Structure 1
C-alpha cells in the first residue's frame, strides 16, 4: 500500500490483500450457498475454482508454497524456543543449585547472577530481532504471495456468484 497525502490519506485500498473488509457474498443473499450454476468457476490455470471460501483456504493450505512457509516458520521457531527455554532453565537452576557461583563477584558489585539476569533480557531482545529478521527475509514475501493468491481466488469467486445471480 502506498502512502499518500490529501483528503483521502490513510484510507485502505479495497484491492489490498491485507484488507479484511466485510466478506461480501459469503453465504448471504439469494441462493443456497452454491455458485448458482452447474458449471464450476475456472481459475487462471484453467482448473475448476473451489466452490466456496473454505475450499479456497484448504486448497492454499495443501499447496507446496504454504507448506514451505510453515516449514520455514517451524525451522526457526522450534530451535529458537528450545534454546531460549534451555537458557532460562539453566539460569533458574544455577540460581537455586549454585548460589555460591552466582554470587561470585565479576567487577565491583556486579556478580555472575546479575550478568546472567541481564543476559536474559538481552537474549530476549536478540531473539525478537532475529525472529523479525527471519520473517522479513524468509517468510513475508512468500506469505504475501499466498495472500494475493487467496485474494484473487476470492475475487474471482465473488464475481462468479454475481454473474450467476444476474442470470
Structure 2
C-alpha cells in the first residue's frame, strides 16, 4: 500500500503541469504549427469543393488530353495531404516529442514524490 503525499496527488501534479512554463510552451509550439497548416489545408480543400460545386465549367477545362483541372486538383489534394502529414510527423518527432518526454519524466518523478521542490521551471 502506498501513501501519497498531498503535494504529489494526481490532481496537484496535473495542475502544476498545466500551469508550467514547459507545458505552456509545448502547447504554444504545437498550436503554432498545427493551426496555420490546418487553416491552409481546409481553405485549399474548401476551394476544391467550392470550385467543383460552383464552377463546374472551370473544373471541366482540359489541361492535357482528357486530363481536366478537376483531376489535377484532386491529385494535388492527395499529394498535399501526404506532404502535410509528413511535415507534421517530422515536426512532432523533432520539436514536440522531446519536450513531451521531458514533461512526462517530470510528472513521473512528481507522482513518485522524488522532488519536494517546485516541480516545474527548473533545469533539466
* Shorter-normalised TM range: 0.7 to 0.9
Separation in 1 of the partners of 2:49 and 2:10? 48
Q: Which residue of 2 aligns with 1:4?
A: none
User: Which residue matches 2:87?
Assistant: 130
For the aligned residue pairs, the C-alpha RMSD in angstroms reads: 1.8
The whole-number CA distance in structure 2 between the counterparts of 1:59 and 1:99 is 55
Distance in 2 (CA, whole Å) between partners of 1:63 and 1:111 is 53
The two structures have a TM-score, normalised by structure 1, of: 0.63
The 5 Å alignment of 1:26-65 reads 35=5, 50-65=7-22
Q: 1:92 aligns with which of 31, 49, 55?
A: 49
As a proportion of its length, which structure holds more helix?
2
List per-residue Cα deviations over 1:15-51 (Å, max 9, x = no partner). xxxxxxxxx84xxxxx8xx63xxxx7xxxxxxxxx24
Displaced runs of 4 or more, over 6 A? none
In structure 1, the residue matched to 2:103 is: 146
User: How many residues are paired up?
Assistant: 114
2: CA distance, partners of 1:93 / 1:55: 49
* Alpha-carbon distance in structure 1 between the residues aligned to 2:58 and 2:111: 61
Which protein shows a greater Rg?
Answer: 1
Greater relative contact order structure (CA < 8 Å, 6+ sep): 2
User: Which of 134, 153, 156 is the matching residue for 2:113?
Assistant: 156
1:146 positional shift: 0.5
Match of 1:66 in 2: 23
Q: TM-score, normalised by structure 2?
A: 0.84
Task: Return the offset for 1:75.
Answer: 0.4
1:76 matched to 2:47? The reply is: no
